[in-house]
A = this chain, B = another copy of it.
Amino acid sequence: MTTENLAVASVATKANVYFDGKCVSHSLTLADGTKKSVGVILPATLTFNTGAPEIMECVGGACEYKLAGSSEWKKSGPGEKFSVPGNSSFEIRVSESYHYICHFG
């Protein structure tokens, strides 16, 4: 079961564009002040660094990911989540666009 709609209070109107547009997200603020983002990663293999811990929730498409220090690629599809520690990184490999919600903390 994927999260198709997310109740929010406000959206930052300017997109976050990473890797020449291979990843585009919009930042969200919920009514209780919680920050999240929704985004899409187009076909590519990319490395992301985290500040805060992140939970990546797939809402469409799919990806494979590999956490720092791991040698194993794992799949994540619609309705599935994976966690990334803070001050770390992960590689992500996308062959069909991967749509996600990024939860922080």
- The chain A residues found within 8 Å of chain B, CB to CB, are 2-15, 17, 20-22, 24, 26, 28-29, 38-40, 42, 59-60, 97, 99, 101
With both chains docked as a complex, state the minimum distance between the C-beta of A24 and any C-beta of chain B, in angstroms.
4
Known: A24-B24, A26-B26. A12 touches B17 (CB 8 A): no
Further 17 A-B residue pairs, CB within 8 A, beyond A13-B59, A17-B40: A5-B11, A6-B10, A7-B10, A8-B9, A11-B26, A11-B28, A13-B38, A13-B60, A13-B101, A14-B59, A15-B24, A17-B42, A17-B97, A21-B21, A21-B22, A21-B42, A24-B40
Q: Select from chain B the residue with minimum beta-carbon distance to A59.
A: B13
Q: Is the interface of A mostly helix, strand, loop or mixed?
A: strand
Q: A9: shortest Cβ distance to chain B, in Å?
A: 7
**Residues of chain B contacted by A7 (CB below 8 angstroms):** 9-10
Cα–Cα distance between A7 and B31 once the two chains are bound (Å):
10
